Amino acid sequence: MSKAKDFYWSDEMVRTTEEIQECSLQTGGDKFGCIHPPLIRIPLCNVVPDELHLMLRITDKLEKNLIHSILRRDKLAERGNQRIEKNVYQHKLLQAMKKCGVTFSIWNKPDENGNLTDKYDWTSLMGADKKPSFTTFPTHLQNLFPQITLKL
């Protein structure tokens, strides 16, 4: 680590609830991670993060990034080669999830008129489906990404 363990808890680095309130009311990109004003003014030194829900939020973001990456690869592959099977990487992802024993699907989101859009939605992994996706899914990633990506 480049900083001491308690560096961010020093008096000049710790944010107050007033500073968080001010940052959340800023317009543009100067919010410094404060999207909404605090509902309850509890000093941050008295806040204990809920590690379980923090981990679940992080894994949901990773899942979203994985799916968007797969969908992007499919679009690039289809543009580059007209003879390639449609959604080949999406099918590989679904097969990998199936091997983990997880029911998972991805579909186009319809608009208010029922027409398909370029936006996608997918099965939300809950409870019993999350654990197998953590433990066995990483072994199936080698079929989805180039070797250079896996080494990073």
Tally of domains within the chain: 2
The reply to whether 4 falls in a domain is no
The reply to whether 37 falls in a domain is yes
- Do residue 28 and residue 78 come from a single domain? no
- Do residue 137 and residue 91 come from a single domain? yes
The neighbour count for residue 28, using CB atoms within 10 Å, is 5
The reply to whether 5 falls in a domain is no
Q: Which domain holds residue 62?
A: 51-144
The pLDDT tens digits for 36-64 are 888 888 888 788 888 888 888 888 898 89
Q: In DSSP terms, which residues pair with 107 in a beta bridge?
A: 121
Task: Give the residue from 89, 103, 92, 105 showing the smallest Cα distance to 133.
Answer: 103
- Do residue 76 and residue 110 come from a single domain? yes
The pLDDT tens digits for 85-133 are 788 889 989 998 888 888 889 998 888 888 888 889 999 888 788 887 8
Residues 77, 107, 104, CA angle at the centre, nearest 5°? 100
The reply to whether 9 falls in a domain is no
Sequence-separated (6 or more) residues with CB below 8 Å from residue 113:
none
- Do residue 40 and residue 90 come from a single domain? no
- Do residue 136 and residue 75 come from a single domain? yes
Which alpha helices (H) appear in 1-152, and where do they start and end? 17-24, 51-80, 88-99, 127-135, 147-151
